[in-house]
Amino acid sequence: MADSKDPTTSKSRGRKVRDAAKGVMYGMAAHGHVTAALRTRMYLEHLFMFITLGDMLGVPVIPPYYSLRILPYAVPNIKSWKQRVFRERDFTDQVF
């Protein structure tokens, strides 16, 4: 995964050039695939959360016994799940 720019880091010119070249190669060869893999995982996580919390939303998918057993693992992800599910999505978001 690419790291974000850190202006506080002081690097030699050679190191900067090498990092830039590595970044460009990574961006060309792999970044799109990494993002696509992350997106696939996101959709699977959505499914997991929906299955786990479905009965609490009025859509019973699995018996509450199992939901409650899995709940501690699902709770930390509820906020990001809500954020992703409520985000406006469009066909133009799916170009890549």
Partner 1 sequence: MVGILETPFLWVVATIALYGVAYWGYGKWIDRNVWRSDAKKATPAHMYMDGVEYFPVSRYVLWGYQFKSVAALGPILGPFIGVTFGWLPALIWIIGGNFFIGWLQDYGSMMLSVRKEGRSFGPITYEFTGARGRTNLLAFVLFYLVIISAAFIALIATFWNSFKGTTFVPTIGILLTGLLCGQLLYRVKMNVFAVTAIGLALVGLSLYLGPILPVVLPFGLWNIAAWAGICVLILYVAAVLPTPTFIQPTNYIAFYPAFAAIILILIGALATPFTIGASPPVGIQLDMGPFLTDPQGILGPIWPILFVAIACGAVSGWHSLVSSSSSAKQLDIETDALPVGGGAMLSEGLLALASLIAYMVLTKSFVFGVAGDATNPPHTNTASWPVGAALLVSRIIGVGATNVLLTTFFGLVLVIYALTVQALVTRFFRLVAAETWSEGRFRIFGNKHVSTAVGLGVPWVFAVSGSWWALWLYFGGANQLLAGLAIMLISIHLARVRAPTKYSLIPGVFMVVTTLAALIWQTWTFLYSVWLFLQGDKSWIVRNVRGPIQADPNYILVAVGINAVFVLIGVVLFGVGLSMSIRLFRSYRSSVVEARGRAPAAADGGTRER
User: In this chain, which stretch among 3-11, 53-61, 63-71 interacts with partner 1, using CB under 8 A?
Assistant: 3-11
Interaction of residue 83 with partner 1, rule CB under 8 A: yes
Interaction of residue 41 with partner 1, rule CB under 8 A: yes
Interaction of residue 42 with partner 1, rule CB under 8 A: yes
Least distance to partner 1, CB of residue 41, Å: 8
- Residues 50-62 as b or e (16 or more Cβ within 10 Å = b): ebbbebeeeeeee
